[in-house]
Each structure stands twice: as structure tokens, then as C-alpha cells.
Amino acid sequence: MTKPETKPETKPVTKETFSFQTEVGRLLDIVASSLYSNREIFLRELISNGSDACDKLRHSALTNTALIDGDHDFKVELAVNKKAKTITVSDNGIGMNHDDLLATLGTIAQSGTGAFIEQLGKDDKTDLGLIGQFGVGFYSAFMVSDKVEVTTRKAGEDEAWLWVSDGKGEFSIESAERAERGTTVVMHIKKDAKEFLEDARVSHVVKTYSDHISFPVTLGDETLNAASAIWTRTPKDITPEQHTEFYHHTSHAFDDPWLTIHNRVEGVVSYTNLFYIPTHRPFDLFDPERKGHVKLYVNRVFITESIDGLLPPFLRFLRGVVDSEDLSLNISREMLQTDPKMAKISTGLVKRVLGELEKKAKKAPEEFATFWEAFGVVLKEGLIEANPHQDRLLKLCRFASSEQGELSNLSEYVARMKDGQDEIYYIIGDDMEQVANSPHLEGFKAKGVEVLLLIDPVDEFWVRSMDRFEDKVFKSITRSDAGLDDIAGKDDADKDEDKTKDTPSLDTLIAAIKLELGEDVKDVRVSKRLTDSPVCLVADQDDMDVNLERMLRKQGQLNGPMPRVLELNPNHVIVSKLAARVEKGTKDDDGLLNAAAYLLLDQARIADGEVPTDLAAFAKRLSAVMEHAL
């Protein structure tokens, strides 16, 4: 960066010109060239920035009171000048210096917006009319302006700077004058946006979108908003629209909250929480850092967004604020994190949120289902984190099953268990299609025994750490000991007799296949779980489960596949024909038995969503067998 020596006397007189980051350029093109039904949101965005700037200064001043320098009356002032055709939004917040300006007003700060713009690049059909609802932030000024001037001075610094752009690819920065700290944004309003040059219009827009701002927003002598922190108001006095606006402001989100949780707790530690559960997944839900986004306030002073220890990562979809007067303002973030009061608040919050979710699950199962679809995966992470809420969480979980069109909870599953069944069966895989059609399920389907279909990566871990639901143990059906024998199936009486009897010829076949496959399988056995497919692979009693192994292999933590038990369906025609061939003592001169044995093994792998280990050999064997058959 070209920042000169910063002594007031040696301010650069020259104007520096910069290009916008590519994504900003693209965003500005869209913003400037389309017409929006809701472009009045530019005011919301700029007021929101002014309010954020005041919050930031108030926070910095906790450790450096000199920054505020006597001026404690934080506010955002609006002015409309019809003659000059300008709207001005001015704040006495933290302000920006040269580097801040370069780092923020030229790039895209918000990850969500970046992702949205990227999406626009890919898909031209995106409804551009919607863009106003997204987080275009500061750049929304260009929806209504053909030129924007930002004069700003950072609290505690002497220099002021002027940032100017017409929103067409470039912006400039030069030194400027500003008597006090803060930021003034002057928008030169476009011809087609002159409706905003009316006080009444501006006033209406501010009342609609910015009432929740905790600092006064003024136009002339009039204060337009309630100017009290929304979470300090009585819950029944807050309209759903006000909640939505506050949610948008505080979360940089643009959907409606799915659930609002607003309450005050008085006790050893007192606090207020105003939480929103979004309707849609936020963009960064699966960031590896698993950061929370609930803002912490101490006595209405903003402290930080996302502090560890306030909420566990499995609730990271929550947005909103927690405000406590019992935490100390003047201790470091680290000390705050380990403050026992913080732990108390956290426990209270988790209980409250789980309680609200339980209520929803009970009273509005359909609405709960939409929540589950968006955030169930995250909630399930709580089953593997050591926490005292695991049992409550497990009850909230919803699962797809082989016998039900809809998701069910575990109590429902248990209630439907068959006579003689005392385990909860599950199968884990990468996608629904694959697990739902897995050969492993066949015997269970034939008996009407329900199997949970699990396809989230986290499932592999929680079934291990939770082990059981109430007194019922979880059991993977891809294991050799997932016994079906003791369970009375729906069609036991007529169909099942003799199916699994080992005939002598099968013993010979098994021995022959074992010989052919050698080390590539752990064992070959007769299957009790197959009805349609000829073969499947299962994990031996004490071996690692099939899906876990696959996952570890993908992550490079295991080499090559582990030998598995190959199970043969005694009733399948391929198996009985092979058995007959072996029984007759036919010599395998044509290598057909060998080819068939390996093709069966490969087929079992394919059914598990895997690729045969040696594709060239696979193709060769397939040709050999087809040639023979034709």
C-alpha cells in the first residue's frame, strides 16, 4: 500500500486512484444497471453501518476512553438536500483511516455476499430483482446514486480522508478535512431515484427498516426511531416485522427468522437473550471454524460477535444477541471466556433453546421438519461433543428409515420395532439413493424390519459415541452379526422356510470361491439378509464398520480396502448355477469360476457405492463371462 509518512503536515496532496476488486465490479454493474422494487434498502444499509461504527467505537473506548473524547452522544444523522440532489448519512462512530478505507470500501467484506455474487456469475437466470434483499451493504448506495463521497476520520487520529466513486470500476482516496471523528456519506441521487429526495419518504423508510437501531437516527430535529436496544423492550411490544428487521441487521441475513426466542433471566447471573433461528442455512454454516454468531453485549455495550464459551458449536446456527449486566466490561476476552458466570449463562441458554425446539417438535412437527432439514446436521454434532444435553438432543433427532416415507424420531422407531427385535438398525452411506437400495436391506425389508438410513458424515461418529437410545443399542446392518434370525417378520409363516439351509453343494461352492478370492476376502458365508441380490460384503464381528473404513480411506488415513466377509444369497440363480457347476466337478480350465467369483466381489463393492479395485481386470472378466453366456 502506498501510505506515506503520517504526519499531519506531510499529508499527500495527490489523489490516489484504485480499481475495485473484481467481485465488487461485478456487483456494482448489477446494482447500477437493474431496477429494483426495493432499492430503498440503501438507507437501511448505510444506517446500519453508522450504527455498527458507533458500537465499535463504544467497544474500543472500554480500554481507551480517550477515543470518545467527551462526545458520548452516538447518533446517525440524515439530511436531504433537494437542491443539491443529495442525501447525507453521517455518524460519530469509529471512522476509517486510509488503510481501513482501502481494506473495506473496495472489496467485499461479507462472506455471504461474496458467495452470492459468485453464484450470480454461474447462473445468469438468477432473479436480479432479488439483489436488494441480499447483503450488498455499502454498495447499495449505488442503486440510487451516480456518485458517492465518503468523508471519514478515525477516532483517535488527526487525519481525515475523502473516498469518492461513481461506482464504475474505480474509486479514489485523498486527504480531507473533518472536524470530528466519524463518517459522512454523501450520495448524489440519480434522476430516476429523486423520490428519495423527499423528507417524508426518507422518514418512512427509516421507520420501516431501522426502528430497532439502538442509537438515535435523526432527520433535522426529528428522531425517527425508538432508539432503544430492541432486546430491552417488552417482548409483546415488538412486532414480527421489527424482529425481522433487527434479525437482518444483526445477522446480515435476508430471510425471515424461523423462530424467535426472546427472554429475560433474573438470578445469580441475569441476562437477556434475543435469538433468531434462520429459515435458511447461512453461507458459512459449515466453515471449519464452526464459529458462533451471537453477539455478546454487557449492559448494552457491544463486546464481541462470536465468543467461545457462550454457545456450543452445535447451536452455531443461532443469531441474535445476549446481553448481561453481570459480566465485567473491563476484562479481556480470554478472561470473559473462562468466567464462571459465562458458563452459567451458556447452560441457561442451551437449555432454553433446546426447550423451544422440543416445544416446536411437539406442537408443530411440520415446521420442525423444515428446521431439521436446514440444521439437523449441525444439531447432531452435539451428539459427539461431550455435553450434558446429549439425551435431549437425540430425542430431537429425525431419521429417514427404510419403511417410512417421512422422517421419524427414535421413540417412534422403537414403538414400531418387531417382536424379538431389541436393537435399532441403521445403515450408513454417502447418499440416500445408494443406502435405500443397498442389498444389505433386502432381508430386513422382507421381514418388514425398519432400518434407519443415515447419510451425514457426522452419523458415523455419533452412533459410536451414543451407542444406545434408552435401552436400545444401535446396530449397523453391514456387520456380519446383525442377526435377523430372532425377529418375527411379516411373512415368516409362508415364505421363509428352508431359505437359509446350507445345502452340501453350497459348502463346496463356498470353499471354491474362498480358494479363488484368497486374501481378497476375509471369509465367504451364506447370507441370511439377501433376497434379490446375489452377494453383499459385510464387516466381520470385530472389524471396522464398512462405511467408517470407506471414510477413513477417503481421508487417506487407511490404505487399500480391508478384507470383508462376502455373503452369498443361497436362493439366487447365479449362486445355485455356480454351485451346480462346482458340484459337477467341472474343471475351471476356462477360468470362468475365477472370473465369476471376482465379478461377484466387485458387484458387492459397486452396490456399496464403491469402484472395483482393478477396473481393467473387471472389464476383462466381464467380457469373458459375457462371451461364455452368449
Q: Please report, as ranges, the residues that interact with ligand ADP according to CB under 6 A.
A: 45, 49-50, 52-53, 91, 93-96, 104-105, 109-110, 135, 137-138, 183, 252
Specify the residue, 112 or 382, whose C-beta has the smaller distance to ligand ADP.
112
N residues, the chain? 630
Specify the residue, 52 or 523, whose C-beta has the smaller distance to Mg ion.
52
Q: What residue spans of 496-572 are helical by DSSP H?
A: 504-517, 546-554
Q: How far is the CB of 138 from Mg ion (least distance, A)?
A: 6
CA distances in angstroms from 529 to 28, 485, 534, listed in the order given: 60, 9, 11
Q: Reduced to 3 DSSP states, what percent helix, strand and coil does the chain have, rounded to the nearest 5?
A: 40, 20, 35
Distance CA 76, CA 53 (A): 10
* Residue span 271-310 as binding mask against Mg ion, x where in contact by CB under 5 A, dash where not: ----------------------------------------
Which entry of ligand ADP, Mg ion, none binds 105, CB below 5 to 8 A by partner kind?
A: ligand ADP
Q: How far is the CB of 280 from ligand ADP (least distance, A)?
A: 18
Specify the residue, 109 or 335, whose C-beta has the smaller distance to ligand ADP.
109
Specify the residue, 293 or 621, whose C-beta has the smaller distance to ligand ADP.
293
CA distances in angstroms from 260 to 201, 337, 454, 548, listed in the order given: 30, 25, 30, 38
Q: How far is the CB of 369 from ligand ADP (least distance, A)?
A: 32
Distance CA 118, CA 178 (A): 37
Grid coordinates of 262: 426472546
- In b/e form, how buried is each residue of 67-92, taking b as 16+ CB within 10 angstroms? bbeeeeebbbbbbbeeeebbbbbbbb
Which entry of ligand ADP, Mg ion, none binds 91, CB below 5 to 8 A by partner kind?
A: ligand ADP
* Residue span 32-61 as binding mask against Mg ion, x where in contact by CB under 5 A, dash where not: ----------------xx------------
Task: With residue 262 as reference, give the H or E element that holds it.
Answer: strand 257-265
Specify the residue, 48 or 273, whose C-beta has the smaller distance to Mg ion.
48
- Under 8 Å between Cβ of 80 and 194: no
Angle between helix 340-363 and helix 365-380 axes, rounded to 10 deg: 140
Which entry of ligand ADP, Mg ion, none binds 442, CB below 5 to 8 A by partner kind?
A: none
Q: How far is the CB of 433 from ligand ADP (least distance, A)?
A: 39
Q: Which of residues 164-193 bind Mg ion (CB under 5 A)?
A: none
Grid coordinates of 595: 472370473
Q: How far is the CB of 100 from ligand ADP (least distance, A)?
A: 6
Kindly tell me the burial class for residue 141, based on how many C-beta atoms sit within 10 Å of its own C-beta (0-12, 13-18, 19 or more): buried
Per CB under 5 A, 137 contacts Mg ion: yes
Q: How many residues contact Mg ion, by CB under 5 A?
A: 3
Which entry of Mg ion, ligand ADP, none binds 252, CB below 5 to 8 A by partner kind?
A: ligand ADP
Q: How far is the CB of 109 from ligand ADP (least distance, A)?
A: 4
- Under 8 Å between Cβ of 214 and 228: yes
Q: How far is the CB of 74 from Mg ion (least distance, A)?
A: 17
Chain residue at closest Cβ approach to ligand ADP: 137
Segment contacting Mg ion by CB under 5 A, of 22-30, 63-71, 129-137, 238-246: 129-137
| Pairing of the two strands 472-476 and 535-538 | unpaired
Specify the residue, 48 or 531, whose C-beta has the smaller distance to Mg ion.
48
Q: How far is the CB of 205 from Mg ion (least distance, A)?
A: 16
Grid coordinates of 605: 463393492
Specify the residue, 78 or 582, whose C-beta has the smaller distance to Mg ion.
78
Kindly tell me the burial class for residue 449, based on how many C-beta atoms sit within 10 Å of its own C-beta (0-12, 13-18, 19 or more): buried
Specify the residue, 102 or 384, whose C-beta has the smaller distance to ligand ADP.
102
Specify the residue, 48 or 218, whose C-beta has the smaller distance to Mg ion.
48
Q: How far is the CB of 138 from ligand ADP (least distance, A)?
A: 4
Distance CA 288, CA 3 (A): 35
Q: How far is the CB of 153 from ligand ADP (least distance, A)?
A: 10
Specify the residue, 103 or 580, whose C-beta has the smaller distance to ligand ADP.
103
Specify the residue, 91 or 545, whose C-beta has the smaller distance to ligand ADP.
91
- Under 8 Å between Cβ of 30 and 127: no
Half-sphere exposure of 468 (CA within 13 A, CB side): 6
Residue 312: closest CA among 348, 366, 268? 348
Q: How far is the CB of 212 from ligand ADP (least distance, A)?
A: 15
Q: What is the residue type of 250?
A: T
The residues of the shown chain that bind Mg ion, judged by CB under 5 A, are: 48-49, 137
